[in-house]
Amino acid sequence: MIRIGVIGCGYWGPNLVRNFHAIPEARVVACCDKEVERLQRMRALYPEVDTTTRAQDLLDAGLDAGAIATPPHTHHSLAKAFLSEGMHVLVEKPVAQSAAECIELIELAECRGTVLMVGHTFEYTAAVNLLKEIVESGEIGEVLYISSTRVNLGLFQQYVNVIWDLAPHDISIISYVLGKEPVSVNACGISHFSDGIEDVAMTTLTYEGGPMAFLHNSWIDPNKIRKMVFAGSKKMVVYDDLEVNEKIKIYDKGVEKLVCHDKQKLFEYSYRYGDVHSPVLEDFEPLGAECRHFVECITHKKTPRSDGYSGLRVVRVLEAASASLRQLGHAVNIEHPDFAEI
Amino acid sequence: MIRIGVIGCGYWGPNLVRNFHAIPEARVVACCDKEVERLQRMRALYPEVDTTTRAQDLLDAGLDAGAIATPPHTHHSLAKAFLSEGMHVLVEKPVAQSAAECIELIELAECRGTVLMVGHTFEYTAAVNLLKEIVESGEIGEVLYISSTRVNLGLFQQYVNVIWDLAPHDISIISYVLGKEPVSVNACGISHFSDGIEDVAMTTLTYEGGPMAFLHNSWIDPNKIRKMVFAGSKKMVVYDDLEVNEKIKIYDKGVEKLVCHDKQKLFEYSYRYGDVHSPVLEDFEPLGAECRHFVECITHKKTPRSDGYSGLRVVRVLEAASASLRQLGHAVNIEHPDFAEI
Amino acid sequence: MIRIGVIGCGYWGPNLVRNFHAIPEARVVACCDKEVERLQRMRALYPEVDTTTRAQDLLDAGLDAGAIATPPHTHHSLAKAFLSEGMHVLVEKPVAQSAAECIELIELAECRGTVLMVGHTFEYTAAVNLLKEIVESGEIGEVLYISSTRVNLGLFQQYVNVIWDLAPHDISIISYVLGKEPVSVNACGISHFSDGIEDVAMTTLTYEGGPMAFLHNSWIDPNKIRKMVFAGSKKMVVYDDLEVNEKIKIYDKGVEKLVCHDKQKLFEYSYRYGDVHSPVLEDFEPLGAECRHFVECITHKKTPRSDGYSGLRVVRVLEAASASLRQLGHAVNIEHPDFAEI
Amino acid sequence: MIRIGVIGCGYWGPNLVRNFHAIPEARVVACCDKEVERLQRMRALYPEVDTTTRAQDLLDAGLDAGAIATPPHTHHSLAKAFLSEGMHVLVEKPVAQSAAECIELIELAECRGTVLMVGHTFEYTAAVNLLKEIVESGEIGEVLYISSTRVNLGLFQQYVNVIWDLAPHDISIISYVLGKEPVSVNACGISHFSDGIEDVAMTTLTYEGGPMAFLHNSWIDPNKIRKMVFAGSKKMVVYDDLEVNEKIKIYDKGVEKLVCHDKQKLFEYSYRYGDVHSPVLEDFEPLGAECRHFVECITHKKTPRSDGYSGLRVVRVLEAASASLRQLGHAVNIEHPDFAEI
């Protein structure tokens, strides 16, 4: 039985508790939050769970694992404290506020032999895993470019801008699907409500040898949109996470460069318009799969799909985006773009 | 009776001829194109119109006006030749390939006292004019940011990249609606099929004192999209040009910053979710309105809505975007961002 | 404190328990179902609730009220037993399998002075109440006709056909909005999977002096649809219950008959195409409103919005539809079509 | 060279002229209409075509064929006159106002050895032909039921009701796809604007041994809809004619009856939810294919796909629908439901 403590009982924490509850090999023993009303709500739902307003109580409780769902600026210090106690850690994205902090956590987890897993929930969805399969199979050919729109009205964050809040999803999905990391990042953004906290931004990721990816993130948009386009040299895929029935659509469409013997027309393309196919997806809650994976990694001493390196790769891109924002959109290189090592 | 010659009978030229035909005060006297088959098609449709493969014939025909619908790199020299003959000119966008060329044409037209009008067709649509009215009325408050998506599969251009091909529409619409010009431009793009001809690009326009506008243009996209969002401080407008019935939707949604006395919570917003309203639009062909406006400006010696300065303002942004592309997305300032003068 | 027993813990019953739980003035004291596993699930969620497999236990428990969410053919006998004990009753639709049974229950409740309420949940939605307001205000003019599509794949019922399963929603909504009852019913249907249980049907309701309403119900449809059109003489309203953001759309469209003096053209209409407006709706769970209303009616001795007569009116239409099905679609009159009396 | 006369130059006639013009083997020699302005418009577009207000002129002109696009109540007498002259005839739907009239025309054409073709344009679309292929291939299994919605605002007809105006499309498509004719018809409708001319109607077609088809036709609807569902025992197809890119969608969904050994549960179904596939369709104007087919049938003495019998089968259903309307929806049998004989 894995004994787990959950810290942060705002929006996301209760979902973690609910999903861990459904796993026979795990038990949520304690919950922690600064706000007493939130703890009352947790007790009403789960009378057997201890609650506390002090993080230290979780550290002292002799738990096997901690799940962190607090605001982003607290992730690093809490994860560090848990790992130092020899606890396994599941931490929400972004795992930390700098690459250096991520590396510190990775090294600490390796040193203590514990699991460090990041809550890149989309890597546990049926849609993103199918997307990865499609891209890896070569069905859509070479990925030429990606565009991702993740916008909505509201849910302003206090300490992080819209890129640190929403783009981790885009970045982790794209890195997971492509299996590589961008070499440079451009970002332009604007803040309307809190000085220095961009609420709208456009981020461009450039990958060595292609593709380019455009990320549009906004907290100020009339409609909620969660949509990604992967345009390949053979086919194109649209992933619309808000579609109930046809989340993934594969368009058998493409461009072909013609060899042209007419010297007048040096240049000629043909466009292929074909069928549209939407594969059925298995229906399950991604967070459930994520929580089961965490428990399984602990039990069988496995490396999680979304491990510390995965979190590091996302944070490196976010850091570069922040630097680019400060330089008015100038391209900022990512220092160590090797995909799976520090 | 205004006697008009049309040069370029590919995709757009025949539409110009058809629309001028419907205007009693105008007559298309001659058509010119390098391809003989295109001229045959024009003669079949309009037996009374002269056709020629030599532009010089149009210059020699003693016409009142010339309409130019040839590839972009020929616009400047043809417009210059027509204006030099004292002819009024309607030239497709982009009016030229540099601001300097635009200024040369503007000065030439002023010197000869002729009309120089640019084919910014969207400024003649019911939707864009309603959008301008809505924004100018203050109904949506301050415009916080704009995003525009203009993508599709195909119609690659040989001589210009996707920004010079598609973004003139976005830029002319935004400039027309806001009544101001951006002060700097960032652009990132990638070319997959012709070296040096970007087929996918993201352009960011920064306006003095706000807003920021993001333009997504692509020739490699599975679905055709023509969609703009104007997010205001009070309301938000979505303009989807491919919607048949509800092209303009006004969302009574917004963000309000709360004054917060609780020191713990320095930061608090409220979101307003209200009605959605889609005003009915008059149904007419925008190119018809554009052609009538051209004839009217000639007849009554008026300055066209989309005059040479309007063309210049768009080209200045395109030039800056090209410079930014070469500098890997670095912000490029626009030199003379005054809205209505050289 | 109203002490409530809930019978039937399949799909709907647990929703009733959850909603009653949130009402301070009410308490679910006991649950009953034939399947033991269902009761185990209820105990896990609500440890303080008694569970039993015998309906008699609920009758003997000295409860104030009973909520019935069992299969339709059991509604009448259970409601009768509860009412006979002097309990208030909330029963799912359809309230019984014949008008006679409904009248028996109504009389019993009147005799005992208890509340008899039918679970016409849609009458408690924000959308249907707005629809009623719009129609009653005269904004859309006279209602000319109604079409309703309520189809999906699956959820076949064992004892009732698709009309008795799905059409009660359509009928109760339309009766509630119009405030009147149809005078005759036509129904055509077909059964593919269980003999005598139609899984697809089309029902036509004719109202005295108009309108006519067409109900399309099916368990065999590739897409789930929940859509109603109220076409009025002045405007038209579409209510799409599956739309997240724009459930109600008011189209300022209509037909006008022109007075025509040209004898050649005896006949002439004009069509008006105007704005589309979608009012924002308050966001709440309709079943919560329904449960609160039930408790309030008990507490303040009020007649419920969806009382026994409301259930009777729906069942009369269902009975007539069944008769019409047997007569191959022939119009079947409804005997006592007065809206609010037996 | 087939010399053709076109009678009726309102909405549809000019489309016929334009399409015949594009066929090298055919020539439109003359046009006829009662309204002089319409003829002026035709002369402007086609200066070489003769125009007349007298039908007799067409009969006297020694033409090979006549195409009839006049109001429905004139179809029979004009077709009869043309056929009597030994001319081939293409007549718009409905071919006549009674089965008897249709038979008269069929016999006349057979007697004179001329082609009699009905303008069931949808039988010449890529979408309907693919639908027919899909159904005939057995891919969707047995067709269980069909629903068709063909509604819009306006285009009221003066002499025929909405069933005679819009349902011929539904009926001809369904008969063409299924290759069989219904055995009985129910129809309910209501007229709001012209006495006796129903502007809204619901028609049910019953086929021997299944399926049933429901047709919803209206001139009073806020949105234009052209949508058919073919629900099969294995898969389901939706054909939405207003969709630009995905007109045909095949849903790999279905119902299966389980053999159930648990006596408690006599009844059990499983639902299959699978992929959605939208095959690409060739892009052409159906009327062009129809006109070419007419010319080809004349040239090669072939029987048209939509011959007189096809027109008769549609009119038999319309007649039965009218009878059912008069009998308040009672089922009306179709007398000679054999598919391909009188």
Mean pLDDT, chain D cut into blocks of 10 residues (342 residues total): 96 96 95 96 90 96 97 96 97 95 96 97 98 98 97 82 96 96 96 90 95 96 96 97 95 79 59 93 96 98 96 96 96 72 46
H or E stretch including B288?
A: helix B286-299
What does the pLDDT read at residue D342? 43
**Closest Cα of chain C to D102: distance in Å?**
28
Nearest to B280 among C246, C273, C279 (CB): C273
Higher pLDDT among residues A333 and C46, named by residue: A333
Q: Which residues of chain B have pLDDT under 50?
A: 266, 339-340, 342
Provide the pairing of β-strand C184-190 with C65-68: unpaired
For A273, name the nearest residue in chain D, comparing CA atoms only. D280
SS3 A30: strand
DSSP E strand boundaries for chain B: 2-7, 26-32, 50-52, 65-68, 88-91, 116-118, 143-153, 184-190, 200-206, 212-218, 220-232, 236-240, 248-257, 269-278, 332-333
- The 8-class DSSP code of residue A113 comes to T
Dihedral (Cα; C81, C84, C85, C91), 10-degree rounding: 50
Instruction: Please choose, from the candidates A48, A46, A1, A55, the residue with its C-alpha nearest in 3D space to the C-alpha of residue A23.
Output: A1
> Mean pLDDT over residues C267-282, rounded?
88
Mean pLDDT, chain C, whole residue set = 93
**Closest Cα of chain D to C9: distance in Å?**
17
Interface contact flag, D277 A280, Cβ < 8 Å? no
Q: What are the chain A neighbours of D279 within 8 Å (beta carbons)?
A: 275
Count of beta carbons in the 10 Å neighbourhood of residue A35: 12
Whole-angstrom CA distances from C59 to C55, C66, C73, C80, C92 are 7, 9, 19, 11, 18
In whole angstroms, what is the distance from residue B288 CA to residue B39 CA?
A: 22
| Buried/exposed B19-46: b ≥16 CB within 10 Å, e otherwise | bbbebeebbbbbbbbeeeebbebbeeeb
In whole angstroms, what is the distance from residue C341 CA to residue C102 CA?
A: 12
**Closest Cα of chain A to B180: distance in Å?**
18
Q: What are the chain D neighbours of A246 within 8 Å (beta carbons)?
A: 276
End-to-end alpha carbon distance in chain D? 33
For D245, name the nearest residue in chain A, comparing CA atoms only. A276
In whole angstroms, what is the distance from residue A90 CA to residue A72 CA?
A: 13
Q: What are the chain C neighbours of B278 within 8 Å (beta carbons)?
A: 275-278
Interface contact flag, D255 C153, Cβ < 8 Å? yes
Question: A334 and A121 in contact (C-beta within 8 Å)?
Answer: no
In whole angstroms, what is the distance from residue C328 CA to residue A66 CA?
A: 66
- The 8-class DSSP code of residue A271 comes to E
Residue position matching structure tokens 């919005």: C305
In whole angstroms, what is the distance from residue A15 CA to residue C230 CA?
A: 41
Identify the band that residue A338 occupies on the pLDDT scale cut at 50, 70 and 90. low
Residue B303, token pair as written in the block: 């300055």
Q: Is B139 on the interface with C (CB under 8 A)?
A: no
Interface contact flag, A278 D275, Cβ < 8 Å? yes
> φ and ψ at A167, to 5 degrees?
-65, -25
Q: What are the chain C neighbours of A245 within 8 Å (beta carbons)?
A: 223
Residue A73, token pair as written in the block: 């600026």
Q: What are the chain B neighbours of A271 within 8 Å (beta carbons)?
A: 153-154
- Show which of residues 246-305 on chain B sit within 8 Å of chain C, judged by CB atoms: 246, 252, 273-280
Chains that touch C (3 or more CB pairs under 8 A): A, B, D
In whole angstroms, what is the distance from residue C75 CA to residue C55 CA?
A: 12
> φ and ψ at D33, to 5 degrees?
-160, 155
Rama region for A209: left / alpha / beta (φ>0; ψ in -120 to 50; rest):
left
Q: Is A223 on the interface with C (CB under 8 A)?
A: yes
**Closest Cα of chain A to C142: distance in Å?**
34
**Closest Cα of chain D to C302: distance in Å?**
39
Residue A296, token pair as written in the block: 């399984």
Question: C251 and C237 in contact (C-beta within 8 Å)?
Answer: yes
ipTM confidence score: 0.92
Distance of CA D281 to the CA centre of its chain: 20
Nearest to C275 among B273, B274, B277 (CB): B277
Interface B–D counts its CB contacts (< 8 A) at 3
Q: Is D223 on the interface with C (CB under 8 A)?
A: yes
Higher pLDDT among residues A116 and D46, named by residue: A116
Q: What are the chain C neighbours of D157 within 8 Å (beta carbons)?
A: none
**Looking at the DSSP assignment, which residues form a beta bridge with residue B276?**
B251, C278
| Buried/exposed B156-184: b ≥16 CB within 10 Å, e otherwise | bbeebbbbbbbbbbbbbbbbbbbebbbbb
- The 8-class DSSP code of residue D72 comes to G
- Show which of residues 149-168 on chain C sit within 8 Å of chain D, judged by CB atoms: 153-154, 156, 158
Residue position matching structure tokens 């590589």: A180
Q: Residues 6 or more apart from B133 whose CB is under 8 A from it?
A: none
Question: B272 and B141 in contact (C-beta within 8 Å)?
Answer: no
Question: D71 and D9 in contact (C-beta within 8 Å)?
Answer: no
Q: Is C222 on the interface with A (CB under 8 A)?
A: no
Nearest to A193 among B221, B251, B255 (CB): B255
Dihedral (Cα; A8, A11, A13, A16), 10-degree rounding: -170
Distance of CA A15 to the CA centre of its chain: 17
Q: Residues 6 or more apart from A263 whose CB is under 8 A from it?
A: none
Candidates B246, B252, B271, B272: best to mutate against C (most CBs of C within 10 A) is: B246
Distance of CA D274 to the CA centre of its chain: 32
**Closest Cα of chain A to C178: distance in Å?**
33
In whole angstroms, what is the distance from residue B69 CA to residue B17 CA?
A: 11
In whole angstroms, what is the distance from residue B51 CA to residue B33 CA?
A: 8
- The 8-class DSSP code of residue D307 comes to B
What does the pLDDT read at residue D129? 98
Interface A–C counts its CB contacts (< 8 A) at 3
For A258, name the nearest residue in chain B, comparing CA atoms only. B193
H or E stretch including B230?
A: strand B220-232
For C253, name the nearest residue in chain D, comparing CA atoms only. D222
Provide the pairing of β-strand A88-91 with A116-118: parallel
pLDDT tens profile D307-331: 999 999 999 999 999 999 999 999 9
- Show which of residues 61-100 on chain D sit within 8 Å of chain A, judged by CB atoms: none
pLDDT tens profile A18-34: 999 999 999 999 999 99
- The 8-class DSSP code of residue D194 comes to B
Candidates A245, A249, A250, A280: best to mutate against D (most CBs of D within 10 A) is: A280
Amino acid at residue number D289: A
Question: C42 and C30 in contact (C-beta within 8 Å)?
Answer: no
Q: Is D245 on the interface with B (CB under 8 A)?
A: yes
Nearest to B186 among A145, A223, A329 (CB): A329
Residue position matching structure tokens 């539809």: C321
Candidates C244, C278, C280, C283: best to mutate against A (most CBs of A within 10 A) is: C244
What does the pLDDT read at residue D336? 63
Interface contact flag, B279 C278, Cβ < 8 Å? no
Question: B82 and B8 in contact (C-beta within 8 Å)?
Answer: no
Question: A174 and A135 in contact (C-beta within 8 Å)?
Answer: no
Q: What are the chain D neighbours of A274 within 8 Å (beta carbons)?
A: 280
Q: What are the chain A neighbours of D280 within 8 Å (beta carbons)?
A: 252, 273-276
Q: Assess whether pLDDT exceeds 70 at residue A293.
A: yes
End-to-end alpha carbon distance in chain B? 33
Instruction: Please choose, from the candidates B113, B203, B204, the residue with its C-alpha nearest in 3D space to the C-alpha of residue B164.
Output: B203
In whole angstroms, what is the distance from residue C246 CA to residue C130 CA?
A: 13
- The 8-class DSSP code of residue B329 comes to T
Higher pLDDT among residues D263 and A199, named by residue: A199
Helices and strands counted in chain B (H then E)? 9, 15
Q: What are the chain B neighbours of A194 within 8 Å (beta carbons)?
A: 267
What does the pLDDT read at residue D74? 95
Identify the band that residue A342 occupies on the pLDDT scale cut at 50, 70 and 90. very low
Amino acid at residue number C107: E
Dihedral (Cα; B286, B292, B298, B301), 10-degree rounding: -80
Interface contact flag, C278 B276, Cβ < 8 Å? yes
Count of beta carbons in the 10 Å neighbourhood of residue D30: 19
**Looking at the DSSP assignment, which residues form a beta bridge with residue D126?**
none
Residue C334, token pair as written in the block: 């409804």
Question: D304 and D115 in contact (C-beta within 8 Å)?
Answer: yes
Orientation of helix C13-21 relative to helix C36-45, angle to 10°? 20
Identify the band that residue A339 occupies on the pLDDT scale cut at 50, 70 and 90. very low
pLDDT tens profile C256-267: 776 655 555 545
Q: Is C11 on the interface with D (CB under 8 A)?
A: no
Chains that touch B (3 or more CB pairs under 8 A): A, C, D
Q: What are the chain C neighbours of B274 within 8 Å (beta carbons)?
A: 280
**Closest Cα of chain D to B15: distance in Å?**
16
Question: D270 and D5 in contact (C-beta within 8 Å)?
Answer: no
For C245, name the nearest residue in chain A, comparing CA atoms only. A223
Q: CA angle, corner B168, sides to A223 and A199, nearest 5?
A: 35
In whole angstroms, what is the distance from residue B279 CA to residue C155 CA?
A: 40
Count of beta carbons in the 10 Å neighbourhood of residue D51: 18
What does the pLDDT read at residue D125? 97
Dihedral (Cα; D54, D55, D59, D64), 10-degree rounding: 120
What does the pLDDT read at residue A262? 53
In whole angstroms, what is the distance from residue B121 CA to residue C287 CA?
A: 52
